Amino acid sequence: MADATDIKEIDVQPEYEIGLDGSIDILMTEDQKKYRNALKKMAKRKPTKAFPRPRFAFARFLFDLTTNQKFDIFIMICIFLNMFCMCLEHHNQTLTFGLTLGYINHVFVAM
C-alpha cells in the first residue's frame, strides 16, 4: 500500500515520496513552519571547534584524561556496573550482602 501512495496517475511509474513537503505544508500552521525551518537550519550548522589544550600541566592532564575515548568507555562501564549492583538488591537479603552492596554504592558515589 505504501507504493501506491507515490503514484501520480494511472500507468505512470511511482516516484518515491513525491510531494512529501507539499502535503505536509498544507496541514502546518505558520509557527510550525517556522519551527521546521529553524530545525533545518540547525541541522545544517557544523559543530564549533574543540577547546584548546590548556597550558597549565595539571589542567592539561585532566583535559587529556577526560577527552580520551577510553575515559568515556570507563565511565559507561562504571554506570552499567552501578546499575547492575542496584538491581541485585532484593527482599530478605542477608545482612552481609546488604552491607557489601552499601559499600559498593559508596565507591560508585565517590567516583
Q: What's residue 75's pLDDT?
A: 95
Residue 83 predicted with pLDDT over 70: yes
Cα separation, 87 vs 46, in Å, equals 41
Q: Are residues 40 and 67 in the same domain?
A: no
Q: Are residues 65 and 88 in the same domain?
A: yes
Q: Are residues 64 and 95 in the same domain?
A: yes
Cα separation, 45 vs 11, in Å, equals 42
Q: Are residues 31 and 61 in the same domain?
A: no
Cα separation, 89 vs 98, in Å, equals 7
Residue 52 lies in a domain: no
Q: How confident is the model over 52-75, as pLDDT tens digits?
A: 899 999 999 999 999 999 999 999
Cα separation, 25 vs 72, in Å, equals 42
Residue 49 lies in a domain: no
What confidence tier does 107 reach under pLDDT thresholds 50, 70, 90?
A: very high
Residue 50 lies in a domain: no
Our count of domains for the chain comes to 2
In the numeric block, the cell 552481609 is attached to 96
Q: What's residue 80's pLDDT?
A: 96
Residue 19 lies in a domain: yes
Q: Are residues 62 and 40 in the same domain?
A: no
Residue 39: other Cβ atoms inside 10 A: 10
Residue 104: other Cβ atoms inside 10 A: 16
Q: What's residue 109's pLDDT?
A: 93
Q: Are residues 74 and 105 in the same domain?
A: yes
Q: Which domain holds residue 28?
A: 4-44
* pTM of the predicted model over 0.85: no
